[in-house]
């Protein structure tokens, strides 16, 4: 591919290990380190990047595509989504816009609809949502179970996610049986209570799907799982060989989601809307934790490395929550990721370009910081080294913008900005 006005390689090999990768680089530093090339070309061989450099020095290739002055980024790495669901919650959203606040209880509405959905319908819905994400430039996608909440329904969701990972439609699958205590465990009239549900999650449910997921997650919040229960979930997941993720400090700081994630060496704590200075510092302190090689090519070990603070700008807007303090986190030196949190309750969009624009316009990140968080940041949160950048050897995941410069993502918010999307060397749009 030639005729590239800006090529954001974000190549880790060009990064100064004494200053990076903790704080996201300023535009100037990114450019100075050769992470943004101008008038550039990129060569794809099979599924990976084989060469990047000045267009004038591009080697011969079997096929040549002129991008006519467009900017090229690594495809977005969306490290947090909940795509496996049926049902509609637009009325809940409308009520929220009329003044009601978000509460975790809406998860039960989606759970009821998802349990009732046939397998084919559920798979078609998920595939449709993946197609939407790819059309917006997402090339690495994590998704979670969490709307089944029985052994059978969580296993079904995990098996579907695993099939889609094996087929190359998804990249990472996460078990979120600890999303909500379902209604049938309310402890009333002789029915089992929340403790029994927790026993189920960390016992038979986890065992039933462990081969199908790489991660375990927990919604650590009042109304969902308190800190002690969340710790139990994470420790059971670790014992089963899974990497750890936490939904933390979303609705309040009443539970200690961030501290728990840091203590347990979770790869990521997501939402992070309600943080004290100590939380920010605790996350920043994990930036020095080294990663180590993982289970296969492009995989880092799930249990080593920083705890990434994943901010979810679309969710913050859709719930009218205080925006996560992305600026403060970056300034403190924490690793930050941006993800869509696509789900029917709090963020029904997989539009990562929109999330990046919001992070620039509303969270006060620089363009380079936001792009990095939505690519390299997400990759670190998923413990992946093969995606989120376009260094030589990376998976050839490209987002060709319908714009001469990446700043147009924020300069022209809401405009269609995706011209082409390539995943693993194959053009999808
Ligand atoms: O990440 N916070 C918990 N889970 C989802 C929302 C789920 C729902 O409301 O359906 C989230 O925002």
The answer to whether the beta carbons of residues 37 and 67 sit under 8 Å apart is: no
Measuring from atom 1 of ligand 1, which residue has the nearest CA?
341
pLDDT in tens, the chain (429 residues): 999 999 999 999 988 555 444 434 444 444 445 689 999 999 999 999 999 999 999 999 999 999 999 999 999 999 999 999 999 999 999 999 999 999 888 999 999 999 999 999 999 999 999 999 999 999 999 999 999 999 999 999 999 999 999 999 999 999 999 999 999 999 999 999 999 999 999 999 999 998 999 999 999 999 999 999 999 999 999 999 999 999 999 999 999 999 999 999 999 999 999 999 999 999 999 999 999 999 899 999 999 999 999 999 999 999 999 999 999 999 999 999 999 999 999 999 999 999 999 999 999 999 999 999 999 999 999 999 999 999 999 999 999 999 999 999 999 999 999 999 999 999 998
Residue numbers belonging to the annotated binding site for Zn(2+): 80, 82, 247, 341
CATH for the 76-381 domain, from 3.20.20.140, 3.40.50.2300, 3.10.450.50, 3.30.300.30? 3.20.20.140
**Is the four-CA dihedral 400, 401, 405, 410 of positive or negative sign?**
negative
Between CA 11 and CA 370 the distance in angstroms is 16
**Dist. CA 179 → ligand 1 center (Å):** 8
The domains of the chain are located at: 2-74+391-427, 76-381
User: Which of 88, 96, 107 most suits a substitution to test ligand 1, by most atoms within 8 Å of the C-beta?
Assistant: 107
Relative to beta strand 418-423, strand 426-427 is antiparallel
Residue (of 183, 229, 222) closest to 202 by Cα position: 229
* Helix 151-166 × helix 119-135 angle, to 10°: 50
Q: How many CA atoms lie within 13 A of 395 on its CB side?
A: 26
**Dist. CA 369 → ligand 1 center (Å):** 26
Is the pTM of the predicted complex or chain greater than 0.95? yes
Measuring from atom 3 of ligand 1, which residue has the nearest CA?
219
| Model ipTM value | 0.98
Output the CATH code of domain 2-74+391-427. Answer: 2.30.40.10
Measuring from atom 11 of ligand 1, which residue has the nearest CA?
346
């Amino acid at each position: 591919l030639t005729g590239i006005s800006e090529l954001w390689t974000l190549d880790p090999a060009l990064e100064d290990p004494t200053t990076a990768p903790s704080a996201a680089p300023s535009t100037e530093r990114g450019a100075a380190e050769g992470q943004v090339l101008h008038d550039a070309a990129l060569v794809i061989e099979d599924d990976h990047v084989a060469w990047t450099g000045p267009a004038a020095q591009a080697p011969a290739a079997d096929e040549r595509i002129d991008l006519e002055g467009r900017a090229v980024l690594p495809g977005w790495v969306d490290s947090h989504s909940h795509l496996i669901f049926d049902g509609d919650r637009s009325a809940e959203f409308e009520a929220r816009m009329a003044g009601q606040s978000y509460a975790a209880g809406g998860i039960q509405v989606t759970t009821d609809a998802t349990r009732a959905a046939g397998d084919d319908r559920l798979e078609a819905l998920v595939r449709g949502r993946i197609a939407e994400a790819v059309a917006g430039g997402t090339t690495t996608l994590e998704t979670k179970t969490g709307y089944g909440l029985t052994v059978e329904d969580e296993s079904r969701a995990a098996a579907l996610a695993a099939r889609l990972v094996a087929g190359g439609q998804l990249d990472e699958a996460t078990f979120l049986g600890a999303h909500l205590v379902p209604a049938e465990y309310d402890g009333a009239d002789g029915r089992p209570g929340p403790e029994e549900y927790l026993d189920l999650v960390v016992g038979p449910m986890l065992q039933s799907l462990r081969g199908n997921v790489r991660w375990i997650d927990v919604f650590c919040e009042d109304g969902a799982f308190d800190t002690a229960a969340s710790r139990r979930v994470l420790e059971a997941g670790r014992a089963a060989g899974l990497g750890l993720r936490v939904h933390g400090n979303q609705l309040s700081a009443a539970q200690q989601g961030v501290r728990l994630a840091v203590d347990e060496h979770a790869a990521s704590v997501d939402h992070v809307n309600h943080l004290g200075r100590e939380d920010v510092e605790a996350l920043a302190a994990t930036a020095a934790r080294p990663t180590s090689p993982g289970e296969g090519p492009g995989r880092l070990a799930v249990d080593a490395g920083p705890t990434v603070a994943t901010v979810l700008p679309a969710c913050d807007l859709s719930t009218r929550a205080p925006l996560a303090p992305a600026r403060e986190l970056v300034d403190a030196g924490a690793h930050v990721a941006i993800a869509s949190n696509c789900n029917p309750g709090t963020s029904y969009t997989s539009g990562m370009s929109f999330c990046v624009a919001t992070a620039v316009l509303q969270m006060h990140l620089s363009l380079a910081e936001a792009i990095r968080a939505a690519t390299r940041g997400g990759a670190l949160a998923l413990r992946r080294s093969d995606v989120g950048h376009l260094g030589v050897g990376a998976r050839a995941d490209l987002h060709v913008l319908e714009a001469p410069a990446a700043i147009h993502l924020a300069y022209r918010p809401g405009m269609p900005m995706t011209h082409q999307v390539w995943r693993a060397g194959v053009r999808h749009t």
